Amino acid sequence: MGGTEGRGVATGTLDIRDLVRGGDLCRTCAARSARWLSSSTRVGAVRTGKLFSAAILEDYSHTLNELREVGYVTYARRQLSPYLRACVDQFSRQQRSMTERLIERIRKN
């Protein structure tokens, strides 16, 4: 049998030492995988953060340049006028509300 009894080869059964070695191997592999995943996640988050920050800063820079070129009043008027127009239209007496339209629909039926 030549020293194979401790490894369980001759009897066809597993020795407890084989199980311990296998468990150590699994733990080592799991630890390496966890470190790799953690490292990869960290690198991905940093890259995504840099891309996101760059996009925001580029847009902000573009907006500030445009504001500087046309002036604050012109820029504010151009940006806010659609919202002000919608607000005025919403409260206009000629504008029927959703409630009024619903009541009319119920009365017709």
Same domain, 18 and 66: yes
Across 19-47, average pLDDT: 72
Same domain, 53 and 76: no
Residue 1 in domain: no
Same domain, 60 and 24: yes
- 23 versus 63: the higher-pLDDT residue is 63
Asked if residue 4 lies in contact with residue 10, where contact means CB atoms within 8 angstroms, the answer is yes
To the nearest 10°, report the CA torsion of 10, 14, 16, 21.
Answer: 100
Whether the full predicted model's pTM is greater than 0.75, yes or no, is no
Written as six digits, the tokens of 34 are 């966890």
Residue 55 in domain: yes
The domain in which residue 77 lies consists of: 71-109
Whole-number average pLDDT of the chain = 79
How is residue 10 annotated by DSSP? T
Across 74-93, average pLDDT: 90
- How many domains are there within the chain? 2
Tell me the pLDDT tens digit for each residue of 6-30.
444 545 565 666 655 666 666 777 7
Same domain, 75 and 63: no
